[in-house]
Amino acid sequence: MLAWIRFKCTWPGFLGCAVWMGCAVLLSACGKSQHAFFYTSNPEQSLTIVRDQAYVGGPWESALIVAGLPNCQRRYVLKDLPSDQFKINVYQPEPDIFILNTDKRWYVTSLENCAFQTYQTPPPEPGDLLGSFSVKDGQLSYAAISTSKTGQEEGEAAVTPPDETPGNTATPAQ
């Protein structure tokens, strides 16, 4: 192999060698693919956001994969999504129906038949916010909005009132 390179990469074949080296550089600069998943209580049903970048520094192309297995699975292209401020909120108004929102775009999908529709106007009541797909530190992920039994959102500390029994002089920890 090394003999071939020496033979082909002589001065008369320099242009051909440069072309081959350029192709190798271009192929090594291929883009990326990122995936994030939202699973329902049924492990065979999910929403997946896929972001593909054809080459490094190129635009991101996003798609939604709706998996309502064993009945259906479909992929839908999500056009003109911002790549720098990427965020898609996931709402659930009814079982197996999900509403996705990013900026001024609204999408509705069903896991029963993998249907998908785009809406220009927001729905009057999108349902409960379940979480969001977003890019943090260059990585696509899904973050669920979970509520505890007290109804507080994740990340909020529960404040317990001080003991108000007579004679208690302890102050709560700050």
Mean pLDDT, the chain cut into blocks of 10 residues (174 residues total): 52 57 58 92 93 90 95 93 87 95 92 92 90 93 73 35 38 37
Cα 91 to Cα 60: distance, rounded to the nearest angstrom: 24
Query: Identity (one letter) of the amino acid at 145?
Result: I
Cα 43 to Cα 36: distance, rounded to the nearest angstrom: 15
The predicted structure's pLDDT at residue 33: 93
The predicted structure's pLDDT at residue 150: 37
Beta strands in 79-162 (DSSP E): 87-94, 97-102, 105-110, 116-119, 128-136, 139-144
The predicted structure's pLDDT at residue 161: 34
The predicted structure's pLDDT at residue 45: 94
Structural contact between residues 29 and 71, judged by C-beta atoms closer than 8 angstroms? no
The predicted structure's pLDDT at residue 113: 95
The predicted structure's pLDDT at residue 89: 96
Cα 139 to Cα 131: distance, rounded to the nearest angstrom: 16
